[in-house]
Structure 1
């Protein structure tokens, strides 16, 4: 069977790839019109197509009615499946254009997770290229944030973070060395910083998180394999353990096409 017909949509301001044929042409294994599917069957089959690359980022899915007819299920089932795919950060609803494949490698959802944990959730391999790893005296700002004394030392770690060999983020982490002296000997090309902190009984449990948009400079663009001036999401985090003690300060630069931040906002009347 030939692959799905794909053409460039030039009628939209933001150009995207979209699928123009019936959903049956995409070949969802196990889906037939002779039996009624559960919504999770639909989710699994579409997810397989997205993760395999048959439905690349930017692909526009068929409308709910056409998709329901082609798969032999009700529109309620399709709607629920699409909602779950959205919650898994695989698709998004883009106004009048409908459902668009938009798979982010890293998606933060009001949960404190390490890069390694994000990769595990996606069944991907997290690793890093260590750009700098050393021990130095804390700066004045670090003394204030960590509550250190003059002359205390911190581990300074800078890594290019990759997921399945895809450069995803540049990350600098600072941790007081006295909290976990074994950090000085760790191989952070594969080791998880948060896992080591947890093993020392000082694992981060919450973090203050600031997120801004910046443009990539020449060095950042070369490392992340993007063009100079491409958008990056800059995250500044101060992580604390269960006692409220600051255990890590980090600065991260994420490729905007590989990172998504999701949060839930409440009105003032709902916030105590």
Structure 2
């Protein structure tokens, strides 16, 4: 593709992005023929620009139907970072809506997970996490109450990890997570503003502090139409077996 064509594609891409911003999400674009005539561009050039926006997640093509506006998924890395930190890295404003905050006694299963005696008080938190005002995830967190005495509703507007570090001197340094596909139940679907038929990503696991204590057991349900998960993989180095030397 020569520089002239490349520049023309970039120009049409910019015009398409402006059109996407003007239209409600899920709107069908005008036919290619109409757009090409409106902007005085070859349909091949228009298709290249549209193809780039499809790859970037701003448009979606539906066979036999047309091209529709959408929004790119937010990629979240599976690292020890809060939802707030992840959204800030992507230039989005993270907010939270606390659905539930209560203290309850740990049953045998939860006590084993949190490594505390059965019957100990556990703080249960359910929060709806939003990015730029759009519901993105529903989080359910259980924390031994002894580690966060006095934690209240007012502490949960932002990053829980910041509260743990700032008020309680606790830094989460490690954890274990399991990621799987899941369907939302009726209540979760209403809170996330999605249909019950919308596939989601479910992540559950534990987080540990520097002393090896289990600070939280968390379950998060992410909108499948808004989220993707990025996992950094590293191939383990082969460990050479020590050679056996025969002593004389």
On whether the aligned pair clears a TM of 0.5, the verdict is yes
Cα distance in 2 for residues equivalent to 1:271 and 1:103: 39
Superposed CA offset, 1:39-98 (max 9, x none): xxxxxxx9xx59x847989x9xxxxxx79xx9xxxxxxxxxxx9xxxxxx9569xxxxxx
How far did 1:254 drift? Answer: 0.4
How far did 1:142 drift? Answer: 2.0
Question: Which residue of 165, 186, 192 corresponds with 1:224?
Answer: 192
- 1:126 alignment partner in structure 2: 94
Larger Rg: 2
Cα 1:120/1:205, change in 2 over 3 Å = same
How far did 1:27 drift? Answer: 4.1
How far did 1:127 drift? Answer: 1.5
| Pairing of 1:1-272 with structure 2 (within 5 A) | 22-27=9-14, 53=21, 103-105=72-74, 107-188=75-156, 190-199=157-166, 200-267=168-235, 270=237, 272=239
Superposed CA offset, 1:219-253 (max 9, x none): 22211111122101110020011222110110010
How far did 1:213 drift? Answer: 0.4
Residue 86 of structure 2 aligns to a residue in which SS? Answer: helix
Cα 1:267/1:27, change in 2 over 3 Å = closer
Cα 1:257/1:271, change in 2 over 3 Å = farther
Cα distance in 2 for residues equivalent to 1:240 and 1:183: 19
Structure 1-normalised TM-score? 0.62
Calculate the aligned-residue CA RMSD, in Å: 3.6
How far did 1:263 drift? Answer: 1.5
Structure 2-normalised TM-score? 0.68
Cα distance in 1 for residues equivalent to 2:238 and 2:148: 37
How far did 1:128 drift? Answer: 1.9
How far did 1:193 drift? Answer: 1.1
1:217, 1:229 within 8 Å by CA — same for their partners in 2? Answer: no
Cα 1:233/1:271, change in 2 over 3 Å = farther
1:135, 1:184 within 8 Å by CA — same for their partners in 2? Answer: no
Cα distance in 2 for residues equivalent to 1:198 and 1:252: 21
Cα distance in 1 for residues equivalent to 2:219 and 2:238: 29
Cα 1:27/1:264, change in 2 over 3 Å = closer
Aligned residue-pair number: 201
